[in-house]
Amino acid sequence: MLTDGAPDREEACLGVAEAVAERIERRRVAPRAPWRWLAPWGPLDPRDAPERGSRLILPAQGAAWPDLVIGSGRIAAPYLARIKKASGGGVVTVFIGDRVGRFSPDLVVAPAGGRAPAHAVRTRTWPSRVNALRLAAARGAPPLLPPELPGPRVGVLIDAPLVAEDAARLVAGLRRLREQGAALSVRPPAGAPEALLLALAGVAHYLWAQDRPDPYMSVLGQSEALVVTAQSTRMLSDAVVTGAPVLTFLPQGAPRAVRRVLEALAAQGLTRPFTGELDAYAYAPPDSTREVAHAIHALVTTRAALRKERVRRAPARTRETNGPSSR
């Protein structure tokens, strides 16, 4: 898998890779300026070209080309294109996202909110590493909240630090939820500022102490409803896999790409805005990772069948001799 290391893109690629591959190798690209600015339309950073011995493009020394490379992010597109060219088209290339430029991967995955080509596989969310098996394991793990605590379990996932005004709005909404009887499990972002942690401690029944293991999966699996900050495509996509109501809190300055995803999820009835009230509703949870995995398996099977047919139709080679064969 090939990305720029951004968590949203890396997690999406990893979710698909885990669904289709037995062995996964991660590679991260970091082109210099101006090649970084020109991606996905511009050429590869010459430093990373295979003729210069770059291991970003070529397989590991002594190894064959991989069967599949999954990439995401505009600056990864030129690298994915060069892998396809250098391998003679032997590597199946899959690109997740809509900023692919002139490159034509074997498969383009267009998650919710994207603007990919018409032939792309369109999914309701970004692919996710969250699945039924991991959720079941989280539900079987030690509970974050004591069983005797009354009230519906509401998980709160905050992806990144919030400005003071947003933090105050969120905490005020969570306080209203608590006053209505909800039991709150709050997972703040890693490295959250002390002021945010202190404010959350006043409303949370469980608050992640950041010197302890990350309770991310437990919050997802053990909650009857979720409050999620709209700060990343990954967290939004992970949340709706649970099938629980997902109430979204939109902070100031949310990235445009995240806003597009949020609008697409809301239009599908997967999320609703957080107003400080519990909003019970039902939906069929999407499984975009499985959809992409099925598309990859179909593509690989079709390519193998076409290759076999070409070999069958190829004229048989004749063996030249110096004269008629003798018995």
Domain spans in the chain, listed from the N-terminal domain onward: 2-123, 132-273
Predicted pLDDT at 102: 81
In this structure, the chain runs to a length of 327
User: Distance of alpha carbon 149 from its chain centroid, rounded?
Assistant: 34
Q: What is the pLDDT of residue 264?
A: 92
CA gap 72, 8 in Å, rounded: 9
The DSSP 8-state label assigned to residue 66 in this structure reads P
The edge-to-edge listing of strands for the beta sheet with 183-187 is: 206-207, 183-187, 153-157, 225-229, 246-249, 271-273
| DSSP-assigned letter for residue 55 | T
Handedness of CA 118, 115, 264, 299 (dihedral sign): positive
Spans of the chain, pLDDT less than 50 = 325-327
Range 132-273 has CATH code 3.40.50.2000? yes
CA distances from 296 to 105, 111, 133, 291 (A): 12, 15, 21, 9
pLDDT of 326: 46
In degrees and rounded to multiples of 5, residue 267 shows phi and psi of -65, -30
**Which residue(s) pair with 207 in the sheet?**
186
